[in-house]
A and B are shown apart, each in its own frame.
Chain A
Amino acid sequence: MLTSGAFEERRTSEGRILGLRIIFGACFAALAVSFWLLQVVQNAKYEEEASNNLLRTIPLRAPRGVLFDRDNKVLVENRYSFTIAVLREQTKHLDQSLKRVAQITGADEARIRDIVQRRQREPPFRPLPIIEHATFAQVAAVTARHLEMPEIVVQQVPTRSYPAGGLAAHLFGYVGEVQDAQLDSPEFSQLEAGTIIGQAGIERVYNSHLMGTDGNKFIVVNSVGREIEELKKQDPIDGHRMQLTIDYDLQKALEDGFKANGYAGAGVMLDPRTGEILAMTSQPEYDPNDFANGIERTKWNSLTNDPLKPLQDRLIQGRYSPGSTFKILMATAALSEGLITPDYRVNCPGSITLYGHVFHCDKKQGHGSLDLRHAIEQSCDVYFYRLGSMMSIDTIHAYAEKMGLVGKTGIDLPSEVSSLVPSSEWKLRTTGERWYPGETISVAIGQGQVSVTPIALSTMIATVANGGTVVTPHLVKAVDSGSGWQSLAAPAPRSVFPIRPDVLQAVRDGLWLAVNGAGTAGRARVDGHPVAGKTGTAQVVSAAAAKAAGHGAVHLRDNAWFVFYAPADNPTIAGVVFAEHAGWGATAAVPIAHHVLETYFAKLDKRPLPTVTMGADGVIKTVMAQPAAAAPGLPASQPVPPTPGNPAPVPAGRPASQ
């Protein structure tokens, strides 16, 4: 009983139901196409993005190579230290996280913020170290709250560990994060920001050996960063071990000598036959451990603002007037040129007038008549003024060059400065004026325009000691790049200058007399082992100016020098001690060298090593050990008891005996 109206209506509604079918059908078709586009056409792109979500690379820091001394004593090693780091991508509220970490660890919140701020540009999934060398309590506090704060992680990082007290600080240098500017250089272009590299000293020069290759751990994480599984691990490869030419005992003796006095300055002992450096120091020192994981700003500021400039390596970066030690070169030059014979005598009345100017001897009443040997022994200025008047500055310059006093020695440390002995060409080039012969006179006693580094002076005395070879001072004996120790060939000498035997003998006689005769260096004598040497006392300003400033002005006091070698007849050790503003070479520099030489020979004779103490007369004294007494302790080899805050050292490989 369908009416036409009802029929009409039914037709309409059937049409509309069909409309709904079409609408839904179209929607589902569109959905199917969309999913096909996403899942099949663009699959690769989204698959990669899904992987990015859950794959993480955790860098594993490679321990740097261990440094040994020439007796295979460990000098620099690595310790594991705990670092508390923040994974910024794991938190939406970084501020709160940092605040909370500071709260539970008792760390300085402002400092943590500062660190995070500074390294803001690094990828957010890389852990940012916020507390280094964390204590056990801090580690425990963070670990206990891991669920609550998954963004805070504890890492174990091998950290450089240097001998206590800044021993040989300038030699080792320090490590630090690679600087932005360094990343642009070809040497470091492969590295990522935050990598630890050597920034000074041996650490810097041999960085490619010492650094090792960091490893990686590839892991799967969930959305809160929890590690679900480890996919792959590339173990870090340790840096190469290196054996230095340094002798720990001599190094310690040298530094003890300086520290007993409290002098600033520099000293070096080397083997004149090879150029191997046995000990070297620059005083005052800094503690390289402070740099091992990023230095604090306040500490850095105090180092850079210190008037004594502890960061400067005086041995290779300081230039000073060599004073009377320069007379060795003058004597060698005058004899080699045939201007005088060793028997050439000069009468010293206490002063000499040359080019219309009066030059004073150090000894006001004069030395009387002297030959060359005794002029060296007594350090008579008048004798060498006379020699200066007989030679052109260019001759002096030529001999300075032959004996290693011009330019750089080529030591394997960064930022060595050039030593300077003037020449007429040099003066014309730098000042536009010609050289006046009168200027040569002060050069003749190592004053005036002469300015040399202590390390250069050490190659000069080594040249006298070995008979004419300008050795290249160097610090590394052997390297172990994983396949056993490989000896490193000593670098070729800078030059060879065959000193005539008669010349050499005369100069050496003078140097022997200076120590063993009535000379200025008597304090250097060692029983049973003849020492030869020459002191120097170099004015920092003219005597008149020093007087005007008053005696209290420490920075105007004379610099004390002592250059030496031993045994006098067949030298195996040569060296330089430079004591800044310390006064007389004889009382300031010689006793330090003496202590090292006593130590050297005690070790050679297998006697217990001596110690050093301040004497009643204000000059340090070497105290010979009783044969029964034990040798002084060695901080580097003393086992440090492993405590939570100070974990056990990374086992260092023992070098094979050579």
Chain B
Amino acid sequence: MVDRRLLPHLDFPLMAALLALTLIGVSTIYSVTFDLRANQPGTEFWTQVYALPVAFAAMLACLMIDYRSLAQRSLFLYVALVALLLYVTFFGAVRGGARRWIPLAGFSLQPSEFARLTIALVLAMYYGDERRSARSARELITSAIFVGIPFWLIAHQPDLGTAATLAPVFLGVAYLAGLRLKWIGTAAVVLVLLSPVIWRYGLKDYQKERIATFVDPSKDPRGAGYQQIQAKITVGSGGFYGKGFRQGTQGGYGFLPVAHNDFVFSVLAEEHGFLGVLLSLGLYLFIILRSLDAARLARDRVGAYLVVAIISGFGFQVVYNITMSAGLAPVKGLTLPLMSYGGSSLVATLAGFGLILNVRMRRFTN
């Protein structure tokens, strides 16, 4: 069903980089969740291993159908997404105080993970197909409303972290669509001026606490500041060459909480040192630059916007998570795409790259 002539145009280096990072992720999860007492890999490792083929299948599925036909149906996807989010809001499974999951045949589906893709398609269609431009305030605001609805729904799960990843998707597309830099500057100034008001009325207590703790983690070294302090120790103690595979003490002995998930990069830094960090950072940067290349080469505006939308969200999340994993950003429940434990995240991320590969592969077709 896919044209065989398209195969040579598939971006194999990008796929290799994606595979490499997911494998690094799986090996780090193996190391940190290894059950010392039972002397066998932890269940998280196997869950992640099972998610891998599913995710790559999702990627292949996303590159088979022409991205334009997907974009043209993006409104349906959008409606479906909002419906799912509404369903989660009322009927979703509660874990850790947040209602985010839909239990589904033994797995649990996190619809918010797929919000970014749908938004990317909607925005690509909105700006690409009709030659709309973010130079127009009216069109910018209309697109902002499209993003705003799922943002609000996800933020109320509450999962402000995932919701926040919609912002770079929107900003990336708007930037490419000619958003006036003057507006960005103005928005930044307004945001700074309004920050006391936001602090007073916009943030919940636990969010304020997180930010306060970030500024001075020693204020609460056993509570909220603990993760940040331990993250720094984890990364810093890794040194240049690292402590070695399964030799990490911070992650392995449980001093760093959720080491296999949000802080998987800290563990990588501990066990494989600065060398491992450089390698992984290089792979991530390669993926981002290679994807931006796909945007530049795209056959049409829809493709370019689609790629930029996806890669902006991806890039933001990578940069934020890695910064956080070194204890340099407030602790936020944001996973590291490709490496962190979590099936939904992996599937959604690779599905996104399926679309990017899709755009690049079809750059010459009409």
Residues of B contacting A45 in the complex (Cβ-Cβ under 8 angstroms): 236
* Contact yes or no, A21 B240, CB < 8 A: no
Interface residue? A415 (CB, 8 A) = no
Residue of B nearest to A52 (CB): B233
Best-surrounded residue of B222, B230, B240, B288 (most CB of chain A within 10 A): B288
Secondary structure at the A interface, as helix, strand, loop or mixed, is helix
Interface residue? B328 (CB, 8 A) = yes
Partner of A35, one of B175, B178, B326: B326
A sample of 11 more A-B contacts (CB under 8 A), given A20-B172, A54-B249, is: A12-B178, A20-B176, A20-B292, A28-B281, A36-B274, A38-B236, A39-B240, A39-B277, A40-B239, A46-B236, A53-B233
> How far apart are the CA atoms of A24 and B282 in the complex, in Å?
12
Q: A34-B328, A223-B254 are in contact. Are A39 and B322 (CB under 8 A)?
A: no
Residues of A contacting B239 in the complex (Cβ-Cβ under 8 angstroms): 39-40, 43, 47
* Contact yes or no, A50 B250, CB < 8 A: yes
Interface residue? A32 (CB, 8 A) = yes
> Which 10 pairs between the two chains have the least Cβ-Cβ distance?
A46-B236, A223-B254, A222-B253, A50-B237, A39-B274, A46-B237, A38-B236, A28-B285, A47-B237, A43-B239
Interface residue? A493 (CB, 8 A) = no
Q: Chain A interface (Cβ within 8 Å of chain B)?
A: 12-14, 16-17, 19-21, 24-25, 27-28, 31-32, 34-36, 38-40, 42-43, 45-47, 49-50, 53-54, 92, 220-224, 228
Interface residue? B245 (CB, 8 A) = no
Residues of B contacting A53 in the complex (Cβ-Cβ under 8 angstroms): 230, 233, 249-250, 253, 255
Interface residue? B304 (CB, 8 A) = yes
* Contact yes or no, A24 B254, CB < 8 A: no
> How far apart are the CA atoms of A21 and B281 in the complex, in Å?
15
Residue of B nearest to A12 (CB): B178
Q: A20-B292, A31-B281, A35-B269 are in contact. Are A42 and B236 (CB under 8 A)?
A: yes
> How far apart are the CA atoms of A408 and B303 in the complex, in Å?
104
Nearest CB of chain A from residue B225's CB, rounded to whole Å: 13
Residue of B nearest to A25 (CB): B285
Residues of A contacting B253 in the complex (Cβ-Cβ under 8 angstroms): 53-54, 220-223, 228
Residues of A contacting B232 in the complex (Cβ-Cβ under 8 angstroms): 38, 46
Residue of A nearest to B284 (CB): A28
> How far apart are the CA atoms of A92 and B319 in the complex, in Å?
33
Interface residue? B312 (CB, 8 A) = yes
* Contact yes or no, B175 A20, CB < 8 A: yes
> How far apart are the CA atoms of A28 and B255 in the complex, in Å?
27
Residues of A contacting B178 in the complex (Cβ-Cβ under 8 angstroms): 12, 16
Interface residue? B356 (CB, 8 A) = no
Interface residue? B296 (CB, 8 A) = yes
Nearest CB of chain B from residue A34's CB, rounded to whole Å: 6
Pairs across A and B, CB under 8 Å, 15 listed: A21-B292, A24-B288, A24-B289, A28-B319, A31-B326, A34-B328, A40-B274, A46-B237, A50-B250, A53-B233, A53-B249, A53-B253, A222-B254, A224-B254, A228-B253
Residues of B contacting A46 in the complex (Cβ-Cβ under 8 angstroms): 232-233, 235-237
Residue of A nearest to B37 (CB): A226
> How far apart are the CA atoms of A53 and B285 in the complex, in Å?
34
Nearest CB of chain A from residue B346's CB, rounded to whole Å: 22
Residues of A contacting B255 in the complex (Cβ-Cβ under 8 angstroms): 50, 53-54, 222-223
Residues of A contacting B273 in the complex (Cβ-Cβ under 8 angstroms): 39
Q: A12-B178, A39-B273 are in contact. Are A31 and B322 (CB under 8 A)?
A: yes
Residues of A contacting B328 in the complex (Cβ-Cβ under 8 angstroms): 34
Residues of A contacting B277 in the complex (Cβ-Cβ under 8 angstroms): 32, 35, 39
Partner of A50, one of B234, B240, B289: B234
Residues of B contacting A27 in the complex (Cβ-Cβ under 8 angstroms): 315, 319
Residues of A contacting B319 in the complex (Cβ-Cβ under 8 angstroms): 24, 27-28, 31
> How far apart are the CA atoms of A47 and B312 in the complex, in Å?
35
A-facing mask of B220-254, CB < 8 A → 1, else 0? 00110000001011111111100000000110011
Residues of A contacting B254 in the complex (Cβ-Cβ under 8 angstroms): 222-224
> How far apart are the CA atoms of A431 and B284 in the complex, in Å?
96
Best-surrounded residue of A13, A34, A42 (most CB of chain B within 10 A): A13
Within 8 A of A (CB), among B243-282: 249-250, 253-255, 269, 273-274, 277-278, 281
Interface residue? B336 (CB, 8 A) = no
Residues of B contacting A50 in the complex (Cβ-Cβ under 8 angstroms): 233-234, 236-237, 249-250, 255
Residue of B nearest to A28 (CB): B285
Residue of A nearest to B237 (CB): A50
Partner of A17, one of B36, B233, B295: B295
* Contact yes or no, B326 A34, CB < 8 A: yes
Interface residue? B207 (CB, 8 A) = no
Residues of B contacting A49 in the complex (Cβ-Cβ under 8 angstroms): 233, 236-237
> How far apart are the CA atoms of A31 and B277 in the complex, in Å?
10
Residues of B contacting A54 in the complex (Cβ-Cβ under 8 angstroms): 249, 253, 255
> How far apart are the CA atoms of A243 and B189 in the complex, in Å?
86
Residue of B nearest to A27 (CB): B319
Residues of B contacting A39 in the complex (Cβ-Cβ under 8 angstroms): 235-236, 238-240, 269, 273-274, 277
A-facing mask of B301-331, CB < 8 A → 1, else 0? 0001000100110010001001100101000
Best-surrounded residue of B222, B223, B236 (most CB of chain A within 10 A): B236
Residues of B contacting A34 in the complex (Cβ-Cβ under 8 angstroms): 323, 326, 328
> How far apart are the CA atoms of A24 and B314 in the complex, in Å?
11
Residues of B contacting A47 in the complex (Cβ-Cβ under 8 angstroms): 236-237, 239
Residues of B contacting A221 in the complex (Cβ-Cβ under 8 angstroms): 253
Residues of B contacting A21 in the complex (Cβ-Cβ under 8 angstroms): 289, 292
Residues of A contacting B289 in the complex (Cβ-Cβ under 8 angstroms): 21, 24-25
> How far apart are the CA atoms of A39 and B326 in the complex, in Å?
10
* Contact yes or no, A16 B176, CB < 8 A: yes
* Contact yes or no, B284 A17, CB < 8 A: no
A-facing mask of B126-143, CB < 8 A → 1, else 0? 000000000000000000
Nearest CB of chain B from residue A226's CB, rounded to whole Å: 9
Nearest CB of chain A from residue B344's CB, rounded to whole Å: 25
Residues of A contacting B233 in the complex (Cβ-Cβ under 8 angstroms): 46, 49-50, 53
* Contact yes or no, B308 A43, CB < 8 A: no
Residue of B nearest to A16 (CB): B176
Q: A35-B235, A54-B249 are in contact. Are A17 and B296 (CB under 8 A)?
A: yes
* Contact yes or no, B240 A40, CB < 8 A: yes
Residue of B nearest to A47 (CB): B237
> How far apart are the CA atoms of A609 and B7 in the complex, in Å?
110
Q: A24-B289, A28-B281 are in contact. Are A19 and B175 (CB under 8 A)?
A: yes
A-facing mask of B333-360, CB < 8 A → 1, else 0? 0000000000000000000000000000
Partner of A32, one of B240, B281, B288: B281
Q: A34-B326, A36-B274, A53-B255 are in contact. Are A92 and B285 (CB under 8 A)?
A: no
Partner of A31, one of B295, B304, B323: B323
> How far apart are the CA atoms of A528 and B192 in the complex, in Å?
109
* Contact yes or no, A14 B296, CB < 8 A: yes
* Contact yes or no, B292 A17, CB < 8 A: yes
Residues of B contacting A31 in the complex (Cβ-Cβ under 8 angstroms): 281, 319, 322-323, 326
Best-surrounded residue of A12, A19, A34, A38 (most CB of chain B within 10 A): A38
Nearest CB of chain B from residue A242's CB, rounded to whole Å: 45
> How far apart are the CA atoms of A25 and B284 in the complex, in Å?
11
> How far apart are the CA atoms of A46 and B277 in the complex, in Å?
17
* Contact yes or no, B240 A13, CB < 8 A: no
Partner of B312, one of A20, A35, A43, A92: A20
Residues of A contacting B234 in the complex (Cβ-Cβ under 8 angstroms): 50
Nearest CB of chain A from residue B360's CB, rounded to whole Å: 14
Nearest CB of chain A from residue B279's CB, rounded to whole Å: 11
